[in-house]
Amino acid sequence: MQNSAVLPFGPNSDQSKIIDEIKEGMKENGYLCSDTIANVLYLAEKLQKPVLVEGPAGVGKTELAKALSGMKKAELIRLQCYEGLDEAKALYEWNYKKQLLHIQAMQGKDLDWEKIEENIFDEDFLLSRPLLKAITSDKPTVLLIDEIDKVDLEFEALLLEILSDFQISIPELGTIKAKNPPFVILTSNNTRELTEALKRRCLFLFLDYPDMDRELEIVKLKVPELPEHLAKQIVRVVRLIRSMDIKKSPSISETLDWARAIFYLGVDSLDRQTVETTLNVLLKYQGDMERVTQSLRSGLRV
Amino acid sequence: MEKQILGFINYLRKAGLPISVSETVDCFQALTHVSVFDKQAFKLALSITLVKDSVHLPIFEELFNLYFFGSAAQKAQELGIKPKDLNENFTYERPKNVEEFLERLDAAIENQDLNELSQLAEVAIDIQVDADQFSLIPGNLPGSGGSGSTAGEVLKKVNTLRALRQEEKNTGKIRIIEGLDSWLQPAEEEQMLNFFRAAVGEALQKRELNNRGLDLIERRIPNVNLQETDIITANYTQLEEMERAIKPLAKKLASRIAQKRKQARKGKVDIRSTLRRSLNTGGVPLDLRFKYPRPTKPELYLLCDVSISMTGFSAFALQLVYSIQNMFSKVKSFAFIDNTVEITDFFTNTDFNEALYRINREAKVVTGDGRSDYGKALVSFYQKYAPKIGSNSHIIILGDARNNRRPSEAWVLRELKSQVRRIYWLNPEPGNQWDTGDSIIGDYAKYCHSVYECRNIQQLSQVIPKLA
Ligand SMILES: Nc1ncnc2c1ncn2[C@@H]1O[C@H](COP(=O)(O)OP(=O)(O)O)[C@@H](O)[C@H]1O
Ligand SMILES: [Mg+2]
C-alpha cells in the first residue's frame, strides 16, 4: 500500500454509470436492485470474488442469481444444497459403467493394464456435476450454490478451493483450473453458522425485507396491472403485519401472491372484508391469521 | 487515508469483529473501485469485505458513523490524516427551519423512511423555544441544544409542533380517517414515532458525550461489544442492551436446535433387525430397519441463584435455556438465595422480566439475611424435590458459588450425582477468580460432570446447546 497524501482511491467516474447499468439490466430481467445490491454486484465483478447472500426466506436471494445470469447472458448453474449432499453429487463422479464397458471392450486386445487404467481415468469418463461443470465451461457462467447452510461442515471444506482459486483438484487427473471464472453466488438462511474459512473468501451481503419504497417498486414491476393506490395499501398492510409478533412473517413472495389475488378479485380499494378473506394467501398459520384478524377488528372504526 | 482505514479496522477488531489480514486486503482492493465521494459505495466497500455476520452489522453501522462523522473524524482531520472532502461530502442536509423540519418529519413517517428519521432525530434536539417562538439553531455548536433535556421532552416539543401545524392546516375542516386507514394509520404512526423517540434518545446521549469532550468511540466500544462484556460487572445500560441482544440470540438457538434434531432423527441402518426381517423375504433385505438415536429426552432441573449480583446472569441464562426447552421432555426451574423454591409456573404466559420481578417479590427465596447460602439452598432443594427426580434427568446450577463462608453441604450434589444422568454448573465469574475469597466452586465441581465459565453472552450461547 503506497502512502500518499493525495487520494489513493479513485474518484471513479465510471462507477456510478456502471451501477445504473446494473440496475437497469437487472430490472430488465425482473429484479429490482437496491443501491446496495447493485454496488455489491459491481464490486464482486471487480474483485472476482464470490458473494455470500444471507437473509430470511423469500427476500430474493435465489432470484438475484437468476436475474444476474440473465443480465450477463451467462449460463446459470445451480447447486441446490440439501442434507447429505456429497462430493459425487456436487463435484464429479467417475462413470463406472462406462469404465466397465471400456474394460470389457479392451479384453482380448493386447493392451497392458496400466494403459487401460490410464484410459479409463480420463476426462471422458468423468461425470460432471454442477461445480465441475461451472469450472470447465467454455461460456461465462453464474454458479449458484443455494442454501449452503443445509449441508454439513465437511462439505464446506470441499468448496474452499473453488471459491478462492476457481479450481478443482481431482486425484487421478490433477488440477483443473477454470477457463472462465464463474460469478459465484452462495445463499444462506442462517440456520447454522458458516465457517470463518468460507466467509473469508466471500463478500457478504445481508438481504433483509426491503424498505417500503422498494417493496412497492417490486410489486409494481411484478404485478404491473395492479393500480398504484392498491399496491401501496397492500405493501402497507404487509409491513404492519411483519411488525406483529407472529410465527411466520410474510416475505416478498407472499406480498406478490397477495397482490395478484387482490387484482383478480377486482376490488377498487382494500377494505376489512377483502383483507380478512384473503389473509390465507399471506399467512401460513391459523394462529397468525387469527392474530391479524383480531387486530383488524379491534382497530377498525365501522 | 490508509492510516485512517486501518484505524477504523482496529476499532472494529476491538469491538469483537474477527477481521483477518486477507479481509483487510480485500477491503483496500474494493476501495480502489469506488469513489470516496459516494458515501454509500464507500461504506459498502468496507462492510461487505469486513463484516461477515449479520449480528455485527449494527456495530459496524454505529462505529462507521462515529468514526467518519463524529469527534474522532474531526480529530483525524486536525492531524491531517483525512482528506477533508470526505467529511464534507458525507454531511446531511439539515432542514433550514422548523417548518421544513416538520414537513420532512411527516414525509418520513408516511414513507417509513428510517434513515431520514434518525437524521431528523439529531435535528430535533436543536429546536429551541424562546417566548412562544420555535426556532432551529444550527447543530454542532458547542453546547447547542440537547444537554439537559430528555427524549420525552424533545418528543413532547415535536408533538406539540405537529399538532399546532395540523390545526392550522385543517381550520374549519374535520378530517375523518375511514376504512382500512383507520387501522393502518395510527399503528404506523405509533411505530415510526417509537423509532423516532429511540433515535432522539441516542442522539441526546451522543451530544452529551460530545459536549463533555469525551472520545465517543472509546466510550461506546465496550457497549458495542456486548457479546464479550462480563455480565456480572455490567452497568445498568449495558444490561439493558444485553437484554435486547438476547431475544434474537434465543431465536437463533431455537431454530438451530430444531434443525439439529431433524438431522439426528435420520438414523442409521440397523443391520441385525434388517436381517431378522429379511427372513420373511427369503433372505433378501427388502425392508430396511433403522436405528434411531436415544428416543427419550431427559428432564431438566434448573437451579438459579437470584441474589442481586446474579439476577442479570440468571435472567439471560434462563432465557437461553428456555429457547432450547424442546430438547427436554420437561423443564422445571427453581430459584434460591438461601432457600429453594420452584418457579416453573412463573414462566408460563408472561414475559421473562416480569416473571423474574415477580419471583423476587413473591417467591420465598430468602429466609435469613438475604445473602446467598448455597448449602442451605441445596439442602432445601434435596429435601423438597429430590425424591421426585428420575434417573433420566439433567440438573443445571446457575451461580457463582460465593457462599459467604457458610457450610457447602456438597454431599447433596454427591447424592444427586448418583441419582441423575448429568449435573452441570454455569459460573458467571472469570475462571481465575474461582475458589478465591468465599468462592467454593471447587467443592461442588467434584460432583458435577462439567463446570463452565459463562462470563458473557457469547460464552453462554456457546455452552447452552451443550447441555441437552
Ligand atoms: N428485488 C426483487 N425484485 C423482483 N422480485 C423479487 C425481488 N426480491 C424478491 N422477489 C420475488 O420474491 C420471490 C422470492 O424470492 P426468492 O429468490 O425465491 O427468495 P429466497 O431465495 O431469498 O428465499 C421471487 O419469486 C421474486 O419474484
Ligand atoms: Mg431461495
Looking at A195-299, list the stretches that DSSP marks H as alpha helix, in order from N- to C-terminal side. 196-200, 212-222, 228-242, 252-265, 272-282, 286-299
Q: Among B201-215, B222-236, B414-428, B433-447, whose mean pLDDT is lowest?
A: B201-215
Overall residue count recorded for chain B in this entry: 468
Residues of A in contact with B83 (CB under 8 A): 7
**Structure confidence at residue B146 (pLDDT):** 46
CA distances (Å), origin A2, targets B22, B164, B347: 18, 58, 60
**Structure confidence at residue A11 (pLDDT):** 47
> Are A158 and A132 contacting, i.e. CB atoms less than 8 angstroms apart?
no
Is the sign of the CA dihedral B111, B115, B121, B126 positive or negative? negative
Q: What is the separation, in whole angstroms, between the first and last Cα of chain A?
A: 68
Are A240 and B179 an interchain contact pair (Cβ–Cβ within 8 Å)? Answer: no
Nearest ligand 1 atom to alpha carbon A63: 17
Q: Give the Å distance between the CA of B178 and the centre of ligand 1.
A: 33
Are B180 and A275 an interchain contact pair (Cβ–Cβ within 8 Å)? Answer: yes
**Structure confidence at residue A9 (pLDDT):** 46
Q: Residues of chain B with pLDDT > 70: what percent?
A: 80
* Measured distance CA(B411)–CA(B388) in Å, rounded: 18
> Are B433 and B461 contacting, i.e. CB atoms less than 8 angstroms apart?
no
Residue B41 distance to chain A (closest CA, Å) = 6
Q: Is B346 exposed, middle or buried (0-12, 13-18, 19+ CB in 10 A)?
A: buried
* Measured distance CA(A104)–CA(A121) in Å, rounded: 15
> Are A31 and A60 contacting, i.e. CB atoms less than 8 angstroms apart?
yes
- The preferred substitution site among A144, A209, A252, A258 for testing ligand 1, maximizing ligand atoms within 8 Å of CB, is A252
Core vs surface per residue B100-109: b (16+ CB within 10 A) or e: ebbebbeebb
* Measured distance CA(A166)–CA(B294) in Å, rounded: 43
Q: Give the Å distance between the CA of A59 and the centre of ligand 1.
A: 5
Strand partners, B269: B290
> Within 10 A of B444 (CB to CB), how many other CB atoms are there?
24
What is the residue type of A285? Y
Give residue A260's pLDDT band: very low, low, confident or very high (50, 70, 90): very high
Kindly identify which residue of chain A lies nearest to residue B186, measuring between CA atoms. Answer: A299
CA distances (Å), origin A91, targets A49, A79, A138: 20, 10, 17
Average pLDDT over residues B327-343: 90
Are A202 and B18 an interchain contact pair (Cβ–Cβ within 8 Å)? Answer: no
**Structure confidence at residue B84 (pLDDT):** 43
Nearest ligand 1 atom to alpha carbon A34: 1
**Structure confidence at residue B204 (pLDDT):** 82
| Ligand 1 site, residue A59, Cβ cutoff 6 A | yes
Are A39 and B44 an interchain contact pair (Cβ–Cβ within 8 Å)? Answer: yes
Are B48 and A205 an interchain contact pair (Cβ–Cβ within 8 Å)? Answer: yes
Tell the residue nearest (CA) to atom 12 of ligand 1. A253
Q: Give the Å distance between the CA of B176 and the centre of ligand 1.
A: 38
Average pLDDT over chain A reads 87
Average pLDDT over chain B reads 81
In this structure, what C-alpha cell is assigned to residue B290? 433403522
Query: Which helix (H) or strand (E) segment is A252 a member of?
Result: helix A252-265
Q: Number of C-alpha atoms within 13 angstroms, CB side, residue A271?
A: 9
- What Rg, from alpha-carbon coordinates, does chain A have? 25
More confident of the two residues B141 and B181: B181
Residues of A in contact with B180 (CB under 8 A): 233, 237, 269-272, 275, 300
Phi, psi of A93 (to 5 degrees): -150, 145
Are B54 and A190 an interchain contact pair (Cβ–Cβ within 8 Å)? Answer: yes
Overall residue count recorded for chain A in this entry: 302
- Beta strand A203-206 with B127-130 is unpaired
- Beta strand B330-336 with B268-269 is unpaired
> Are A175 and A167 contacting, i.e. CB atoms less than 8 angstroms apart?
yes
What is the residue type of B164? L
Q: Among A107-116, A134-143, B252-261, B451-460, whose mean pLDDT is lowest?
A: B252-261
Average pLDDT over residues A241-265: 92
> Within 10 A of A276 (CB to CB), how many other CB atoms are there?
14
In this structure, what C-alpha cell is assigned to residue B284? 433378501
Q: Give the Å distance between the CA of B43 and the centre of ligand 2.
A: 27
Is the pLDDT assigned to residue B291 strictly greater than 80? no
* Measured distance CA(B64)–CA(B447) in Å, rounded: 49
Ligand closest in space to the Cα of A56: 1
Residues of B in contact with A239 (CB under 8 A): 112, 188
CATH number of B244-263+296-467: 3.40.50.410
Average pLDDT over residues B371-385: 94
Residues of A in contact with B28 (CB under 8 A): 1
> Are B66 and B74 contacting, i.e. CB atoms less than 8 angstroms apart?
no
| Ligand 1 site, residue A252, Cβ cutoff 6 A | yes
Question: If DSSP codes are grouped into helix, strand and coil, which group holds residue B333?
Answer: strand
**Structure confidence at residue A197 (pLDDT):** 92
- Beta strand A203-206 with A183-188 is unpaired
Residues of B in contact with A47 (CB under 8 A): 26, 29-30, 33
Residue B44 distance to chain A (closest CA, Å) = 7
Residue B274 distance to chain A (closest CA, Å) = 22
Ligand closest in space to the Cα of A253: 1
Ligand closest in space to the Cα of A59: 1
Query: Which helix (H) or strand (E) segment is B192 a member of?
Result: helix B181-211
> Are A204 and A194 contacting, i.e. CB atoms less than 8 angstroms apart?
no
Residue B50 distance to chain A (closest CA, Å) = 8
Query: Which helix (H) or strand (E) segment is B366 a member of?
Result: none
Find the CB nearest A213 among B35, B111, B191. B111
Average pLDDT over residues B127-155: 64
- What Rg, from alpha-carbon coordinates, does chain B have? 29
Question: If DSSP codes are grouped into helix, strand and coil, which group holds residue B452?
Answer: strand
Kindly identify which residue of chain B lies nearest to residue A43, measuring between CA atoms. Answer: B30
Residues of B in contact with A203 (CB under 8 A): 26, 48-49
**Structure confidence at residue B144 (pLDDT):** 47
* Measured distance CA(B290)–CA(B266) in Å, rounded: 8
Q: Give the Å distance between the CA of A205 and the centre of ligand 2.
A: 14
| Ligand 1 site, residue A63, Cβ cutoff 6 A | yes
Is the pLDDT assigned to residue B4 strictly greater than 90? no
The predicted-structure confidence for A98-150, as pLDDT tens digits, reads as follows 777 777 777 777 777 777 777 777 777 777 788 888 988 999 999 999 999 99
Q: Give the Å distance between the CA of A57 and the centre of ligand 2.
A: 7
Average pLDDT over residues B228-254: 78
* Measured distance CA(B296)–CA(B328) in Å, rounded: 9
Interface with B, mutate which of A18, A39, A205, A247 (most B CBs under 10 A): A39
Query: Which helix (H) or strand (E) segment is A30 a member of?
Result: none
| Ligand 1 site, residue A209, Cβ cutoff 6 A | no
Residue from B323, B399, B311 nearest B357 by CA: B311
Q: Give the Å distance between the CA of A134 and the centre of ligand 2.
A: 20
- How many beta-carbon pairs below 8 A join chains A and B? 133
Q: Give the Å distance between the CA of B454 and the centre of ligand 1.
A: 41
* Measured distance CA(B263)–CA(A292) in Å, rounded: 33
* Measured distance CA(B65)–CA(B69) in Å, rounded: 5
The predicted-structure confidence for A170-205, as pLDDT tens digits, reads as follows 887 788 888 889 999 999 998 888 999 999 999 999
> Are B11 and B67 contacting, i.e. CB atoms less than 8 angstroms apart?
yes
More confident of the two residues B65 and A72: A72
Question: If DSSP codes are grouped into helix, strand and coil, which group holds residue A282?
Answer: helix
> Are B341 and B364 contacting, i.e. CB atoms less than 8 angstroms apart?
yes
Residues of A in contact with B26 (CB under 8 A): 47, 49, 203
The predicted-structure confidence for A68-85, as pLDDT tens digits, reads as follows 999 999 999 999 999 888
Tell the residue nearest (CA) to atom 25 of ligand 1. A253
Looking at A121-181, list the stretches that DSSP marks H as alpha helix, in order from N- to C-terminal side. 130-136, 153-165
Q: For chain B, how many helices (H) and strands (E)?
A: 19, 10
Give residue A28's pLDDT band: very low, low, confident or very high (50, 70, 90): very high
Find the Cα–Cα–Cα–Cα dihedral A223, A224, A226, A232, rounded to 10°: 80
pTM comes to 0.72
Ligand closest in space to the Cα of A54: 1
**Structure confidence at residue A149 (pLDDT):** 92
Tell the residue nearest (CA) to atom 16 of ligand 1. A60
- Beta strand B422-427 with B393-398 is parallel
> Within 10 A of B147 (CB to CB), how many other CB atoms are there?
13
> Are B437 and B407 contacting, i.e. CB atoms less than 8 angstroms apart?
no
Tell the residue nearest (CA) to atom 5 of ligand 1. A31
Residue A272 distance to chain B (closest CA, Å) = 6
Nearest ligand 1 atom to alpha carbon A30: 4
- Beta strand B299-305 with B290-291 is unpaired
Kindly identify which residue of chain B lies nearest to residue A11, measuring between CA atoms. Answer: B35
Long-range contacts: B211-216, Cβ < 8 Å, 24+?
Answer: B211/B142, B211/B143, B211/B146, B211/B147, B213/B71, B215/B71, B215/B72, B216/B66, B216/B70, B216/B71, B216/B72
| Ligand 1 site, residue A133, Cβ cutoff 6 A | no
**Structure confidence at residue B109 (pLDDT):** 92
The C-alpha cell 458473557 sits at: B456
Give residue B266's pLDDT band: very low, low, confident or very high (50, 70, 90): low
**Structure confidence at residue B142 (pLDDT):** 42
Give residue B49's pLDDT band: very low, low, confident or very high (50, 70, 90): very high
Q: Look at the domain A15-86+130-206 and name its fold.
A: Rossmann fold (3.40.50)
* Measured distance CA(B134)–CA(A268) in Å, rounded: 43
Q: Give the Å distance between the CA of B254 and the centre of ligand 2.
A: 21
Q: Is the ipTM of this complex over 0.90?
A: no
* Measured distance CA(A236)–CA(A230) in Å, rounded: 10
* Measured distance CA(A66)–CA(A89) in Å, rounded: 21
In this structure, what C-alpha cell is assigned to residue A26? 437487472
**Structure confidence at residue A1 (pLDDT):** 36
Ion ligand 2: residues, CB within 5 A, are A 62
Query: Which helix (H) or strand (E) segment is A125 a member of?
Result: none
